[in-house]
Structure 1
Amino acid sequence: MEQRPRIVVGVSGSLGSLAAVHRAVAEARRLGGEVLALHAWEPPSGEFGHRRSPCPPLMSAVRELAVTTLAEAMAEAFGGADPGVPLTARTVRGRTAPTLLAAADRPGDLLVLGPSGSWLHRGMRGSVPRACLRRATCPVLVVPRPELAHTLDELSGRLFAARALDAELRGLVAVSGDA
């Protein structure tokens, strides 16, 4: 019996990952396939830190946060509506890129990813899309950042600049008022 195509998609809850979920569902519709949405999580100090100093209550809290993050992301992506294709959402303990690569291991799989995170995230953890593109044994589709994300970045940049100018002006007023 021939398996239906499987589209594996990484879900972090970011706008980029939500765009990737929508693209994965569109690809599943086009190919007559199913979607496997994964949210990977790790202990706060990584596996090595956890083995050195295990803390069961912390692990339970982090696991529960991962489950909540995935559920909220899926609710946000579809607003409670049926996506129209078979969709399974799972949290998996592990680093993001290796977890996604292990899941997208069947012939005919397609791995769909959102864009890399912020420069800080990439600097600390590396680029998930880059790691997956380098090591994947199946096709990988990286969805570009949504236009809304660009607009929000621009607006937050303007807000930051306005606050900095406001603080600078308050400093000038305080200094001139002392004279």
Structure 2
Amino acid sequence: MRTWTEDVMAERMRVVVGVSGSLGSLAALHRAVAEARRSGGEVLALHAWEPPGGEFGYRRSPCPPLLSAVREAAAERLAGAIGAAFGGAHPGVACTARTVRGETVATLLAAADRPGDLLVLGPSGSWLRRGLRGAVGARCLRRASCPVLVVPRPELASALGGLTARRVDAELRELVGGRG
């Protein structure tokens, strides 16, 4: 008869990481890959999305073409984030990318549900988003059944902190050769 520890060790460690496309989530993705490489595990990169206006708003006023567009945009955002994080190269570990319709915290906690999982998160978004919904990291820390690693904000994100997303994109384009 196997013990609980042997059962957990027999399963391949899974590192679940939330990916929004922000610089912080890209840093979390890199850390998740490093943790999976160190432990011989695999990475599950998740991007949670909701219909505009949330589920309640969508139920009151459904619009299937809009829902399809939002789903496609979420898939493109996740693929773009993974491409940006690794420059199109393979990360060197088994990596599965999924978009999931649902609230971010609930989606991440549902995915990181095994005892041997590790949930890796980047720093929470803007002060407005944290104020409206609460910090994702703090909410996951309170409710997770597995270890949670919150990666600090990257230096580049701090340096660009006062700029708008459009201005950050323009600055980065200038740095990589003036394309755009």
TM range (shorter): 0.7 to 0.9
| Mapped partners of 2:84, 2:129: distance in 1 | 23
Q: Which residue of 2 aligns with 1:22?
A: 30
Report the number of matched residues.
157
Show the counterpart of 2:68: 60
- 1:100 is matched with 108
Q: Which segment drifts farther, 91-100 or 123-132?
A: 123-132
CA distance in 2 between counterparts of 1:20 and 1:53 reads: 35
The one-letter code sitting in structure 2 at the alignment partner of 1:41 is W
Match of 1:119 among 115, 121, 127: 127
Question: Is residue 2:81 matched to residue 1:70?
Answer: no
Question: Using the alignment, how far apart are the partners of 2:90 and 2:11 within structure 1?
Answer: 22
Summarize deviations over 1:85-125 as a string: whole Å, max 9, x none: 00000000000001000000011000000001110111222
Name the structure 1 match of 2:40: 32
The CA distance in 2 between the partners of 1:45 and 1:108, in whole Å, is 35
After TM superposition, the score normalised by the length of structure 2 is 0.84
Q: Could you tell me which runs of 5 or more consecutive residues in structure 1 were left unpaired when the two chains were aligned.
A: 158-179
Whole-angstrom distance in 2 between the partners of 1:138 and 1:90: 20
Identity %: 76
TM-score with structure 1 setting the length: 0.85
Asked whether 1:139 is paired with 2:151, we answer no
Output the aligned Cα RMSD: 1.4
Deviations 1:111-146 (A, max 9, x none): 000001110111222211011000000000000000
Q: What residue is the counterpart of 1:164 in the other structure?
A: none
